[in-house]
Chain A
Amino acid sequence: MELPASNKQLTELYWDSILLTESSFLDPGHLDYPSFQRFVVQEVGNMLTILDKGYKMDSKRAGKSPWRHIGLSYSILYFADWYSSPIWCKNDSTRLQVVLTRNMHNVVRPLLMALLEYAANLNLVMLRLHVSRNVDGIKELLRNLNWLGGRIVSNENRFKALECLTPQEGTMFSDEKYVIIEFEC
């Protein structure tokens, strides 16, 4: 869809979507927003340089949980019938990662269908949902998980993860507030 906006506005929008997506994984104890912003900008910059120059990817990156990967492709999905604000997503070449923090009661199935169709349109093979543990409708989703063909993925073991993280990354981000669920696309 063509947005009636200037390139500058679109660039700002894209940066906003990157920051808002990545802020979903901020550790609740990390309150220093400027340092988070600097870190994300630096990581996106690093990724752009790698892609632009064709440099080899840092081998430590492979050991990180997928949600920690910064500098992927970011999407804003807006389901006006169900939610008043957008859903933040990011994807690499195989997996769409979606953060769900709002009431899913009664929309589990259509929402899942929409996300599966979107992921399939991007030629991705996996859909990974990060669902807030206290969100309405999560039990409905978990109860039907076998039926829907999904599987639960364990949260990151932060202690083990420190082997491939900088101390800053280790303390800034976490996935503990989410139940992670994966679907084949």
Chain B
Amino acid sequence: MTTLQQTRAAIEGVGGTLRPNGTGYQVLEQVQHPQALQLSSLNDERAHAQIFQALQGRVEGVNQENCEAGDENSFFVCDLGEVHRLYAHWRSKLPRVQPFYAVKSNPNRLVLETLAKLNVNFDCASKSEIEMVLSLGVDPSRIIYANPCKASSFIRFAKNQCVTKSTFDNVEELAKIKKYHPHSELLLRIATDDSTAKCRLSTKYGCDMQNVDSLLSKVKELGLNMVGVSFHIGSGASDFSTFYKAVRDSREVFNRASSRFGLPNVKILDIGGGFHLETFDESSASLNVALKEFFPESSDVTIIAEPGRFFAASPFTLACHVIAKRTHTDREAMLYINDGVYGNMNCILFDHQEPTPRVLCHNSNYHYHDAGSTSATETVRCPNKVSIWGPTCDGLDCVTKEYYMKYELSVGDWLYFPVLGAYTSSAATQFNGFEQSVDVIYINSNAL
């Protein structure tokens, strides 16, 4: 088995779990139910033991009915050790690429601190994200401001905070930058073919190749400082040849900038984000091939990326509590849980995520390690069909329309959702009693 096949096998639950072995990750056998536990994380058995311990500790506190008000709310367990493992994985696969973590994917302060200590830089999309990153003591030169809709006030704010790197893709934006932040270090965002991405971005954001010259001409005319080229293939792409085409197009823009327009400072290639752990081996391999061909190490070009989900998803596990149940038949029910799309599962609505429910606690028995406690399809082991709903009365607040449970869950039972850190708590909203802040229990499985 090749490493790639081993990784896939582990992720698909037929091999085992992954553990760092110095040069990458090796597959280990003897995991009781790898399918349930892996779900695109680099967690090993020790990490799972710690995650379970944290989940169980909180739930038992609640079930003993001596909890403080709010303790029964949904909560996350965050394994900061996973962040370290992810960073090591990134470095092993893309050693030339400096990550700028997309803060919008999860602005959790401890995750940001951990990443900052690992020398990861930051991609900020709003004033509050910039403020938060700067409050960690991060130098403004380590921030790129990549919001595609920058109002004048945003640009003025960036200037005041000494954040100079930002992207652009239209003439109007250049005019505003000239007026409010003329010494910006600008990266021209080009459009890519993102037709296979789950979240398509280039459809609306990014300059088509046929319009690149007019933008380069405008940069020259306004005397602005263009330092690089940027693209984003969209999130959840399945065709990684897109990377090859986008890197090739970027090379073309580099060439035009220097030869046709005499822009001497174009030295950064920003390959964007959209990296998923489960496809990272494939995407990074495609990327490395393209970089080697169009931007070899001798080219003296700095390569950066804007990964968000890659670092944010797998460190987080969400635990929710069944607060109501409506039974249709013996084998079919609607479960209402104390979290949903207006809380920590916004990702369902606009990030195409399909959280995977697992039974954590049923009738005071724990099933964290039981992969067969739920199934996306009806099986002999999981005959109980449920739809899972959030606590609001809103029809959009649906966590899953159909899932199958081994147990007939009832009010007071707990579910958990692994790999649920990306675009979740960052989007939670405070509205009429739904609390914005969610409890996070931190563990560090690397510290064992």
Contacts and interface: CB of A to CB of B under 8 A. Distances in A.
B195 to A, nearest CB: 14
A108 interface: yes
Nearest to B394: A155
Interface residues of A, number: 33
A95 to B, nearest CB: 14
Contacts of A152: 341-342, 346, 349-350, 427, 429
B201 A144 contact: yes
Interface string A151-177: 111111101110000000000000010
A125 to B, nearest CB: 9
Contacts of B210: none
A142 B432 CA distance: 22
A130 to B, nearest CB: 13
Contacts of A155: 392, 394, 431
B148 A184 contact: no
B147 A117 contact: no
A39 B351 CA distance: 41
| Overall SS of chain A's interface | helix
Interface stretch (B4-12, B47-55, B59-67, B149-157): B149-157
A120 B148 contact: no
B151 A120 contact: yes
A154 B432 contact: yes
Contacts of A112: 149
Contacts of B342: 152-154
B104 A146 contact: yes
B148 A154 contact: no
Contacts of B177: none
B346 A151 contact: yes
A91 B199 CA distance: 32
A144 to B, nearest CB: 7
Contacts of B431: 65, 153-156
A100 interface: no
A185 B153 contact: yes
A55 interface: no
Interface stretch (B75-83, B123-131, B251-259): B123-131
A148 interface: yes
B105 A146 contact: yes
Nearest to A119: B151
Nearest to A63: B432
A179 interface: yes
B152 to A, nearest CB: 6
B133 to A, nearest CB: 14
B368 interface: no
A146 B235 CA distance: 11
A113 B392 contact: no
A56 to B, nearest CB: 24
A65 B201 CA distance: 33
B117 interface: no
B104 A156 contact: no
B434 interface: yes
A152 B345 CA distance: 11
Given A147-B205, A157-B432, A184-B128, A120 B349 contact: no
B432 A151 contact: no
Nearest to A140: B204
A154 B427 contact: no
Nearest to A141: B350
B433 A120 contact: no
B105 to A, nearest CB: 7
Nearest to B201: A147
Interface in B344-393: 346, 349-352, 392-393
Given A152-B342, A154-B394, A145 B153 contact: no
Nearest to A64: B432
A61 interface: no
A185 B434 CA distance: 24
B149 A146 contact: no
Interface string A110-141: 00110011011000000000000000000010
Contact of A120 (B153, B346, B396, B427): B153
Contacts of B349: 142, 152
Contact of B104 (A109, A149, A182, A185): A149
Contacts of A109: 148-149, 204-205
A179 B392 CA distance: 14
A53 interface: no
A143 interface: yes
Contact of B350 (A113, A146, A149, A160): A146
A109 B201 CA distance: 12
A113 B205 CA distance: 13
Contacts of B127: 184
Contacts of A142: 349-350
Interface in B118-138: 125-128
B125 A149 contact: yes
14 contacts: A113-B149, A142-B350, A146-B104, A146-B199, A146-B350, A149-B104, A151-B427, A153-B342, A154-B342, A154-B434, A155-B394, A157-B432, A161-B432, A182-B429
What 4 A-B pairs come out closest when comparing CB atoms?
A154-B342, A116-B151, A120-B153, A154-B431
Given A116-B153, A145-B350, A157-B393, 17 more contacts: A109-B205, A116-B149, A143-B199, A143-B200, A144-B201, A146-B105, A146-B351, A147-B201, A149-B125, A149-B126, A149-B147, A151-B427, A152-B429, A155-B394, A176-B394, A184-B126, A185-B151
Interface of A: 65, 108-109, 112-113, 116-117, 119-120, 140, 142-149, 151-157, 159-161, 176, 179, 182, 184-185
Interface of B: 104-105, 125-128, 147-149, 151-153, 199-201, 204-205, 341-342, 346, 349-352, 392-394, 396, 423, 427, 429, 431-434
